[in-house]
């Protein structure tokens, strides 16, 4: 089945630094990937749609200059949290649309970001 | 996006009991998906439903696509401790994006 990986699985950083999270589709190509944010005990909140070869599409209320997305290839999308602050601490999850199973998405294992 | 109302929000059951959770929507969906999320992990697809009235099983899990196409339920039979986690319903909208229910947190007492 389709496998999506994320790196790192967790990261702790100081306030004001930037953090890059990678999302890779391991055995398939993905022209589109999605980035979600999840707070404790809450559902997934779509942040943006990453498009290979073009600009990402951000959901309302998500700062594009804060959360930089680059879809460098058909198997890699990156999310960079710039000038991170404690309120950016969250669980970030990426996903890619499934090919064999219609209308589904396959999720990465998530990245836990803690900003001190 | 479209709102999916999922209930219950949480369940605390005894091992061996059956579990039922459901999702409703004010809009029609052509696909219903059920995911499970273990603590600290990403969601994993359990069952995908594509046809109104469809009943699909995956081991001890059974899900149905409502006739009205505005609801779906997920049943877990004979629960075991590893069933613990958060279960989400989801449906596609605006292309290949997904909208999620609020999740059902399942806790199983051995």
pLDDT in tens, A46-96: 999 999 989 999 999 999 999 999 998 999 999 999 999 999 999 999 999
Using alpha carbons, list the distances in angstroms from residue A106 to A2, A63, B10: 7, 25, 24
Q: What is the pLDDT of residues A4-43, one digit of tens each?
A: 999 999 999 999 999 999 999 998 889 999 999 999 888 9
- Per-residue confidence at A1, pLDDT binned at 50, 70, 90? low
What is residue B50's predicted lDDT score, i.e. its pLDDT? 92
pLDDT at B2 over 70: no
Can you say how many angstroms the Cα of residue B49 is from the centroid of all Cα atoms in its chain? 11
Give the DSSP H/E element, type plus range, for residue A57: strand A57-58
Collect all residues with Cβ–Cβ distance below 8 Å to B15 and sequence separation of at least 6. B79, B80, B81, B108, B109, B110
What is residue A98's predicted lDDT score, i.e. its pLDDT? 76
pLDDT at B15 over 90: yes
What is residue A27's predicted lDDT score, i.e. its pLDDT? 85
Higher-scoring residue by pLDDT: A103, B65? B65
CA–CA separation, A15 and B62 (whole Å): 46
Mean pLDDT score, B59-72: 96
pLDDT at A100 over 70: no
| Cross-chain residue pair B1–A95, CB shorter than 8 Å | no
As given in the structure block, the two tokens for residue A71 are 């879809």
What is residue A101's predicted lDDT score, i.e. its pLDDT? 64
| Cross-chain residue pair B96–A32, CB shorter than 8 Å | yes
Least confident of A58-62, A72-76, A98-102, B1-5: A98-102
pLDDT at B1 over 60: no
Q: How many CA atoms lie within 13 A of A37 on its CB side?
A: 15
What is residue B98's predicted lDDT score, i.e. its pLDDT? 87
Write the residue in B30, B41, B100 that is nearest to A44 by C-beta.
Answer: B100
A32–B contact, CB cutoff 8 A: yes
A31–B contact, CB cutoff 8 A: no
């Amino acid at each position: 089945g389709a496998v999506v990986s994320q790196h790192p699985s967790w990261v702790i950083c100081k306030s004001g630094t930037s953090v890059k999270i990678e999302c890779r589709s391991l055995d398939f190509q993905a022209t589109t990937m999605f980035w979600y944010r999840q707070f404790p005990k809450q559902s997934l909140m779509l942040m943006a749609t990453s498009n290979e070869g073009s600009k990402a599409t951000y959901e309302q209320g998500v700062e594009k200059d804060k959360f930089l997305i680059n879809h460098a290839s058909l198997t890699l999308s990156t999310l960079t949290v710039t000038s991170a602050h404690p309120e950016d601490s969250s669980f970030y999850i990426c996903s890619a649309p499934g090919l064999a199973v219609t209308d589904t998405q396959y999720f990465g294992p998530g990245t836990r970001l803690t900003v001190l | 996006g479209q709102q999916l109302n999922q209930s219950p929000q949480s369940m605390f059951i005894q091992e061996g009991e059956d579990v039922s959770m459901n999702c409703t929507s004010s809009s029609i969906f052509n696909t219903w998906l059920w995911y499970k999320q273990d603590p600290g992990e990403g969601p994993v697809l359990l069952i995908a439903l594509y046809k109104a009235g469809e009943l699909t099983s995956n081991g001890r899990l059974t899900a149905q696509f409502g006739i009205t196409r505005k609801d779906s339920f997920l049943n877990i039979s004979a629960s075991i401790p590893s069933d613990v986690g958060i279960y989400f319903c989801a449906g596609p909208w605006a292309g290949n994006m997904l909208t999620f229910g609020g999740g059902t947190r399942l806790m199983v007492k051995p």
